[in-house]
Amino acid sequence: MKQQHEVEQFLYRQSELLDTKQWQKWIDLFAADGIYWMPPDASYKTWDGQPAIFAEDKNLMKVRMLRVLHPDAWSQRPLWETNHVVSNVVIRKVAKNGDIEVASRFHMMELRRDDVRHFAGSYFHRLKKTKNGYAIKLQRVDMANAQAAYDYVLQVWV
């Protein structure tokens, strides 16, 4: 129960950081070699060497953050609003050293000027147990929207 609670709190915190645009803190949740990955569809088994919507290490995450914060990031003026709800949190695997694999589902409402879009799907987190809690080794995001064309694009992580 304690572990379930800890993991849930971690996921809630991650989505809260996104929705409040605390992107550096969001990036800090990842392990030094952590990867954020959104495959084009559910059939993909690895991010490595494959087409990917996102396949970012912390360096690329930093590029994305700096870009969005640049005054000439035209598509980001005004910055988009998002609202994530994370649920259905299920611990899939716990290793002896405390590393953990967890599946969850999300729903995100995004507002861009006058337009609302909805994205939904599943998260898979591989988390490393550290002194200060968890660090993300891998976050996989599968969009339920994946088979449709993207009406406009994604700019910040989902």
| In contact, 113 and 81? CB cutoff 8 Å | no
Residue 36 or 134: the one with the smaller Cβ distance to other proteins is 36
DSSP 41-68: STT---STTS--SEEE-HHHHHHHHHHH
26 binds other proteins (CB under 8 A): no
Q: Which residue in 129, 104, 136 sits closest to 36, CA to CA? A: 136
Which single residue is written with the structure tokens 């200060």? 132
Distance of closest approach, residue 53 Cβ to other proteins, in angstroms:
5
Distance of closest approach, residue 63 Cβ to other proteins, in angstroms:
5
Alpha-carbon gap, residue 120 to 82, rounded angstroms: 12
Residue 1 or 153: the one with the smaller Cβ distance to other proteins is 153
Q: Judged by CB under 8 A, which stretch of 1-9, 16-24, 59-67, 117-125 contacts other proteins?
A: 59-67
Residue 15 or 89: the one with the smaller Cβ distance to other proteins is 15
Binding site for other proteins (CB under 8 A): 38, 40-41, 49-55, 59-60, 62-68, 70-76, 149-155
